[in-house]
Chains A and B, each alone.
Chain A
């Protein structure tokens, strides 16, 4: 596969890995955070920790939109699904996320009409084909995904579709990064920046990190070679005492971002005054809501969702893992009460959640405990 295979070339990867070993100061422990859950997943899937020297520690960041969604919002979405004549549509990532009464898959088994879609346009198509029902799309994702939701809403408006709505849970990445940076437990030396978010937002939004916090940020692609090169670039900046934003993912990310996408976002969405993030609490100006012009597509206005705050179960340390303060196995519930089959929190379910990645890919436990 072009633009995939070349960036997984074993020979080139080995070369870059050697360069990283050469560049890393053996007397120093580097803590590098990969912000995006997609990077967490890629690091584990491609076994990258095996080629990195032991003094580079990768800290998993909060960039997993499923993981940071509070249980209360999952419940709100499922409450919509429970209504008569409503079809709830969502991405595959959501289907196994536990709400208080069960996961979407479980509720589907009990009779709710919940359907998985690959694209928000598929949800719109279902609405057009089922005029007697209402189709609600459970929207999640950072700035990577929000423009697609925006275009879908605009298309719905264009077509005059009236039985379609969006339950909007789009969040923005910078406030989460700021929350990490301001956290007293934090000691991160540099950031592997979110490549696909940046294809929309460009690289400027991270300049404050270099300028005000003195940390390098390298906007990175998702193939093994991309991630390794980004780590190398961070090491080189640290070595030279520099802190700036660099774009490693030049083949995809324009420095100024994607203007049509940014315009679509500005047209359809506005920043909510505040939004709750699992583990990080309420963060102001961190999530998107539909503008009043699009109230007819806003599920929160059409349906009376419970809006109840649900705290994480006792013992669950989703927050600390999200902030990178704890590694997954350090959570008391990891592997015992909380595992991919029976997840307590979304970090164990989402394929890019730190806990799921750790559990699936890295558990080298020997004989299974009786």
Chain B
């Protein structure tokens, strides 16, 4: 059987200044990271552009990840920046099949930030770390002038031990593989959007920030050899993650839109504002590509853990169309689901 190796196009970064879009997690972000940063820092591990970098140290596979958190507002229904920072970093490790071992955190603080706020966030980080069974073993603190840092920014580094039973590799996906989603989408992104207060919308909605390791662990215990790839669909949403998956392969994805779960309020907000829920950030979910024969067991494994009851299969890998994610609705209508371009913007038209 001939395996077609697609030529990976390296986007060239020609923008003369940095825009918000470059941090939105979509196409612009990819161009910045791959076209500018990657072109200078080029090395085999970096070029995989995975959620975590796996380094071999004396025979052990160690996963390392770095992340930055700049959320505004700092506190929002369901969480805050501290909790987000811990969970987000742990999740990058988890979807790289790595049991999280330790974290470090750098706090960039704005002069004038009330101590009470800082204290709440450090406490939130401590609680989140303890809940996840990891320690924050070190870090740094810097203070910048008033007007910079939106209160505080958190930058993290995480390290974990890769589970030897699983090999995460987008190139290993095959037509027929199924796509697992751990739970309802869009809760975090919409919560943040509403919390900013500019749109005068209210909803009974909270961020879904949580560590996904318990679900990933259960999945690996049950189906290790069937798991091909995992990702946490944060900025850019499920649509961006699935596009990132297929871009490195010779295959495409079919997404059954009616199967994707979301809270009513996420749906209502997206319809009202003209947003696509598939582009909205999640902070407590993960996607997994699982070999067909393991699919049912995979869903059962995640559903068996408290909080995973809404895990569902939402699609499959297909031979065509290559490198595209196609959405299919209940009456067979199709559309191409693209990566996010810039930040999702509400529309009136």
Contacts and interface: CB of A to CB of B under 8 A. Distances in A.
A118 B346 contact: yes
B271 A1 contact: yes
Interface in B175-191: none
B333 A47 contact: yes
Contact of B199 (A65, A109, A118, A369): A118
B204 interface: no
Contacts of A118: 198-200, 273, 346, 348
Contacts, number: 133
B145 to A, nearest CB: 17
A370 B349 contact: no
A141 B347 CA distance: 12
B335 A109 contact: no
Given A341-B28, A360-B336, A368-B9, A92 B348 contact: yes
Contacts of B21: 105, 341
Contacts of B222: none
Given A341-B341, A361-B336, A368 B348 contact: no
Contact of B341 (A50, A145, A340): A340
Interface in A42-68: 44-48, 50-51, 64-66
A122 B321 contact: no
Contacts of B250: 367
B333 A91 contact: no
Contacts of A254: none
B345 A92 contact: yes
A110 B17 CA distance: 9
B200 A122 contact: yes
Instruction: Give the size range of B's interface with the partner.
Output: 35 or more
Given A65-B349, A350-B349, A351-B349, A46 B200 contact: no
Nearest to B346: A92
Contact of B323 (A65, A145, A368): A368
A116 B335 contact: no
B347 A351 contact: yes
Contact of A14 (B247, B331, B347): B331
Contacts of B349: 37-38, 41, 64-66, 91, 93, 141, 350-352
A221 interface: no
Contacts of A115: 198
Interface in A322-370: 340-341, 350-352, 359-370
19 contacts: A14-B331, A46-B329, A47-B328, A92-B348, A93-B345, A105-B21, A105-B342, A109-B20, A118-B198, A141-B348, A141-B349, A341-B28, A341-B342, A359-B338, A364-B324, A364-B326, A364-B336, A366-B321, A370-B7
Interface of A: 1, 4, 8, 10, 13-14, 17, 37-38, 41, 44-48, 50-51, 64-66, 91-93, 95-96, 105-106, 109-110, 115-118, 122, 141, 145, 224, 340-341, 350-352, 359-370
Interface of B: 6-7, 9, 17-21, 27-28, 31, 198-200, 247, 250, 258, 264, 267-268, 271, 273-274, 320-324, 326-336, 338, 341-342, 345-349
Given A51-B331, A224-B331, 11 more contacts: A10-B330, A50-B332, A91-B348, A92-B347, A105-B19, A106-B17, A122-B198, A224-B333, A341-B28, A351-B274, A368-B9
* 10 cross-chain pairs, A with B, having the tightest CB-CB distances, nearest first: A47-B333, A10-B330, A92-B345, A10-B331, A361-B335, A92-B346, A47-B334, A13-B331, A340-B341, A91-B348
